[in-house]
Amino acid sequence: MKRKIQFSLVYRDMWQSSGKYVPRIDQLERIAPVIIDMGCFARIETNGGAFEQVNLLYGENPNNAVRKWTKPFNEAGIQTHMLERALNGIRMYPVPADVRQLMYKVKKAQGVDIARSFCGLNDHRNLELSVKYAKEAGMISQGTLSITHSEVHTIEHFMSVVDKLVEYGTDEICLKDMAGIGRPVSLGLLVSQIKKRHPQIIVQYHGHSGPGFSVASMLEVAKAGADYIDVAMEPLSWGMVHPDVITVQAMLKDAGFDVPEINMNAYMKARALNQEFMDDFLGYFIDPRNRYMSSLLVQSGLPGGMMGSMMADLQGVFEGINRSLEMAGKPSLTIDDLLVKLFEEVSHIWPKLGYPPLVTPFSQYVKNIALLNVMHLLQGKNRYQMIDNNTWDMILGKAGNLPGPLDEEIINLAKSQNREFYSGVPQDNYPNELDKYKAEMKENNWDFGQDDEELFELAMHDRQYRDYKSGIAKKRFDEEIMKLRNTETKPHKKSTNNGVPGENDIIAPYSGKLLLEFNFFNDEKPVEPGQKLEQGDRICYLEANCNYHEIVAVKNGNLDKVFFQHGDIVQKGDIIAKMK
């Protein structure tokens, strides 16, 4: 008899691993029945992580979003699951115990079945309350391992965490391979050990595509006894996201497993809806580089879920770094040069910081140190000039035990700043706070909400919730979208022939962004009007369809006019320049 493998669509993570935002409530309501019609998913990841913070950024109520989003799946008998970060709940920094406890009660009442709970350091002490509170609320507890690859992350290391989770009463184990760098054979051996030692435990595998291991890993964990596999779907599969359900289903069927069939008509409809959501506004916040896989991630181990924010960070410092380099008489960098330097710096400092698994929020902490180090090294300064307090909490043990030893350099740096190391239970550092937030709700005459969900939202995301209540969040979001749309649709300049191309005109072959300043790629200077060109000489680049296309001279002659500026958006058929 064929062994059954079931699929979970990680719909939340598909978006979070691609860009800044997730679909609005109205969009989620439109796609839910189509996902159900696909007929191949036993589970859907509906919320958690950054999902509810994003709703607040829109000016939407996240509690309405979760209730409306989970309802159709609940009615269809499809289990829903959320992602939560143990000590950090569903935010980036620690949460008091009473707020953590309320979270599970609220999410269960809103229709969420499974709590996928992970500690970024794999410290079982942080997960003990997650298991306890989830089960008290009537949820399925899915204790989760943050998978990474290092000399300290052995099968024995992971099994020691699994054993404690089972002791606490977890119902399931998830292997969260957030960077997709878990080695397939090792992951198979780990699942075999879990099933051998705890045969009653359900195992689910979650692996990002990133460096390219995850499809092989899915096959290995399936052979070893995994029960559920997380998958994505186009146009938000592969790249920094997850393998597509079509590929995974075909692979496992060929391997002899009992896997569900896919309603391809519904798949194509859901695919079209996702693309529609991207075309509406979500695509503005998706960096094209997140659509690609990269073997560079094998070295750095950075997770797919943070690539969107990381690329935004790099873009933010890119120009400033190059200005500093130019002022110092040094050659400028391309964005790819900077990306490689960042990956190399992450690889350099990660062991020195005790090998914290690079998952939220610890991936951000390590990335932030690495990025600042790169900036300072390029300026001729030393490493570790700036480390924020949350990162220091990780280093000092306030977030949990690091898997490996700290480098002597980091220990001495802490001592030089009179910082004290902590060995107690992390939760003890963060006293209960619900009474404080109850008082604020009463003072503002705010409704506590159904099942105290509004109280929970304030306590979990206080700053964002206040901005939501005041209307500032929606105003900011609307302004951001308007600015981006105006940039895309501003009037296009044409040549003198009333916009009709002539034999001397340089035509845009695609719609995209015009790049005239070549130091994005090398040390060339922009081509200027009056400059003599040979046929085939490069005039500029056009960033389109996730590629950089050379725009070249159509004949020998002089460049007469350029009708756009660097960074302008052009449409296919626009006349970019004219020769004479």
Does residue 279 sit in the same domain as residue 346?
no
Structure tokens at 523: 């040390």
Question: Residue 270's domain is classified under what CATH number?
Answer: 3.20.20.70
Does residue 330 sit in the same domain as residue 202?
no
Whole-number pLDDT of residue 83:
97
Does residue 284 sit in the same domain as residue 300?
no
Pick the last residue of a domain from 427, 460, 476. Answer: 427
Does residue 67 sit in the same domain as residue 40?
yes
In a domain, 434, yes or no: no
Whole-number pLDDT of residue 443:
97
In a domain, 498, yes or no: no
Domain ranges, residue 562: 505-579
Whole-number pLDDT of residue 306:
58
In a domain, 447, yes or no: no
Does residue 152 sit in the same domain as residue 233?
yes
Does residue 79 sit in the same domain as residue 213?
yes
Does residue 27 sit in the same domain as residue 136?
yes
Q: Compute the distance between CA of residue 86 and CA of residue 174 in angstroms, rounded to an integer.
A: 14
**Nearest residue to 349 via CA among 376, 367, 375:** 367
Rounded to 10°, the helix 307-327/362-378 angle is 10
Pick the last residue of a domain from 288, 304, 323. Answer: 288
Does residue 189 sit in the same domain as residue 279?
yes
Does residue 143 sit in the same domain as residue 199?
yes
Q: Are 283 and 545 in contact (CB under 8 A)?
A: no
* Residue in this structure with the two tokens 């699951």, named with its chain if needed: 81
Q: Compute the distance between CA of residue 107 and CA of residue 140 in angstroms, rounded to an integer.
A: 12
Does residue 247 sit in the same domain as residue 396?
no
Does residue 269 sit in the same domain as residue 167?
yes
In a domain, 471, yes or no: no
Question: Residue 540's domain is classified under what CATH number?
Answer: 2.40.50.100
Whole-number pLDDT of residue 488:
56
Total domains in the chain come to 3
For 394, phi then psi, to 5°, come to -65, -50
Q: Compute the distance between CA of residue 143 and CA of residue 130 in angstroms, rounded to an integer.
A: 8
The helix/strand/coil state of 36 is helix
In a domain, 251, yes or no: yes
Contacts (Cβ under 8 Å, ≥6 apart) of 120: 85, 88, 146, 356, 357, 359, 360, 361, 362, 363, 399
In a domain, 493, yes or no: no
Helix-then-strand count for the chain, H and E: 21, 16
Strand order in the sheet with 505-507: 505-507, 575-579, 557-562, 532-533
CA distances to 4, 6, 8, 155, 231 from 198, rounded to whole Å, are 19, 20, 22, 15, 25
- Reported as half-sphere exposure (CB side, CA atoms, 13 A), residue 458 has a value of 21
pLDDT averaged over 10-residue windows placed end to end, the chain, 580 residues: 96 90 94 98 95 90 96 98 97 94 98 97 97 98 96 96 98 96 97 98 96 96 98 94 97 98 97 93 82 76 61 66 80 81 89 90 87 85 88 94 95 95 94 98 98 98 94 91 70 43 78 68 68 86 66 86 82 83
